[in-house]
Structure 1
């Protein structure tokens, strides 16, 4: 099929081979946009025939669009390094008529996993996302966080990709504390948003209720509770860090707000 693959990477030596091999079931070229890996990511990708593009990280959507300057096909399949096509998804893509003008993109169901456990509640499934799209018509939004393909001419494919989200519960809690919440707080502070003393508690509680009650995390047993608590912690930390920037100039001076990424 005439599909180009697009993967953005940073130190993904444990994931990149399986991701590329998965994509090669439907793609005849793979573009890897690497943001400075210090492990064997680039060497592994090259050995599997991928084209390497070196690009310091620009943010999620912007980085994913870098590959479009190097792809030879209009249709692009974009996966993260920790994502895989299932055999059912491979078959579904192979059966598509990409010459049709009816759709600009195709959305996939995504299975999110912690370790070897598929999390089916808390809004983690079906977690639809557009990952196959016509670059002559659309692309990822040029935003730095939580980017998605911008089109309404979408067809839902009833097959899954797999996302190995976290290796274990410890990583689930560590990543929000280390990356997501701090980055979000810096962005909010730079945009002029402010918190008050109850903001961390209120947002953390809302996040827990949304995941555990409204997105039916209670049906997921211990894992459902864990994911809901992680979401609450992430939201709490985001607003606690924002409040800290407001209250403690010494902390604010430590961070470079011109280099959030």
Structure 2
């Protein structure tokens, strides 16, 4: 194992965290789990797998992913989500990497699954994500939703992370509900104001991007599913932003 600290953020991930920690320990000599006050058995399972658990109420995506970094004993950080695993090619690659340049960060291709079905349509693959970086030169941006690693130099590898995104289609819809609520909260936190047009405009834009620019229109049912769910997510997060402002004002329709 290399001097790399794996970091995972969790909230009620008892079904995922053991496999995630085990995956990280294949290349890391330390794993830290930053838990957002889970109500299930996530913390106990993570501890039993050898991870160090730090509890912290959710701060938003970027701040939460950065929270555990100062506690790491290593400067090199490998970040995974709880529903992600290193594929065999990623493990083999990391074992051979030269980690002497702290300005260098490494990206991976992500395989997104719905149940056992790997979805490659409409931009769901290769879905590049930067996950291995040196904390002295790089780190997650302080965005409260959809943050990413910023680094001086990034090498996008062809190695893979397996992302068990959704258990099934019903879980996909459930996650859109959860994530659109989180996104709406994050947008309101940074001062975005309501708009009666924004939900429809962003849903339409998302549909065009996935169907035309990403080719989903020509990629069968997977392409259509990705386009429709992306548009639904876009619509709901802006509709929920409007709702948050409306509730704050105490507005009631006559």
Q: Residue 259 of structure 1 corresponds to which residue in structure 2?
A: none
> Who is 2:45 aligned against?
44
Partner of 2:134: 134
Equivalent in the alignment of 2:195: 195
How far is 1:238 from its partner?
2.6
Answer yes or no: is the 8 Å Cα contact 1:188–1:194 preserved in 2. no
- Give 1:216-231 correspondences, 5 Å limit: 216-231=215-230
Partner of 2:33: 32
Other-structure match for 1:17: 18
Deviation per CA, 1:8-45: give whole Å up to 9, x if none.
Answer: 11111100111011111100110011111111111111
Q: Offset of 1:187 from its aligned partner?
A: 4.2
Matched position secondary structure for 1:252: helix
**Compared CA separation, residues 206 and 71, structure 1 to 2 (3 A):** same
Question: Aligned partners of 1:141 and 1:199: how far apart in 2?
Answer: 25
Cα gap change, 1:158 to 1:182, in 2 (>3 Å): same
Shift of residue 243 of structure 1? 4.1
The alpha-carbon distance between structure 1 residues 183 and 44, as it changes in their structure 2 partners (threshold 3 A), is closer
TM-score by length of 2: 0.91
Structure with greater strand percent = 2
- Say whether the 8 Å CA contact 2:144–2:186 is kept in structure 1: no
Aligned to 1:148: 148
TM-aligned CA deviation for residue 214 of structure 1 = 1.1
- TM norm structure 1: 0.88
Q: Secondary structure at the match of 1:230?
A: helix
Task: Quote how far apart the aligned CAs of 1:107 are.
Answer: 0.6
Q: Any idea what the Cα deviations from partners look like across 1:139-160, whole Å, max 9, x if unmatched? A: 1112211111111411121111
Hey, what does 2:61 align to over in structure 1?
A: 60
Residue aligning to 1:235: 234
Q: Which residue of 2 aligns with 1:212?
A: 211
CA–CA separation in structure 2 for the residues paired with 1:243 and 1:48: 42
Whether the 8 Å contact between 2:145 and 2:186 is mirrored in structure 1 is no
Distance (whole Å) between structure 2 residues aligned to residue 15 and residue 8 of structure 1: 12
- In the alignment, structure 2 segments of 5+ residues that lack a partner are none
Report the equivalent of 2:248.
252
In the superposition, relative to structure 1, how do residues 58 and 195 fare at CA in structure 2: closer, same or farther (>3 Å)? same
Tell me how large the CA RMSD over aligned residues is.
2.0
Which runs of 5 or more structure 1 residues have no equivalent in the other structure?
255-261
SS state of the match for residue 185, structure 1? Answer: helix
Q: Distance between the aligned counterparts of 1:163 and 1:7, measured in 2?
A: 14
- Residue 171 of structure 1: CA displacement? 1.7
CA distance in 1, matches of 2:188, 2:77: 35
Count of residue correspondences: 249
Residue by residue over 1:131-187, the C-alpha shift from the partner in whole angstroms, topping out at 9 and shown as x without a partner, is 0000111111122111111114111211110111111111212222x2232333344
Question: Could you give the per-residue CA deviations for residues 188-234 of structure 1, whole angstroms, max 9, x where no partner exists?
Answer: 455142313x4433321221111122111134321221111011111
Taking the aligned partners of 2:38 and 2:202, their CA distance within structure 1 comes to 35
The answer (yes or no) to whether the contact 2:138–2:150 under 8 Å persists in 1 is: yes
Asked if structure 2 preserves the Cα contact closer than 8 Å seen for 1:13 and 1:41, the reply is yes
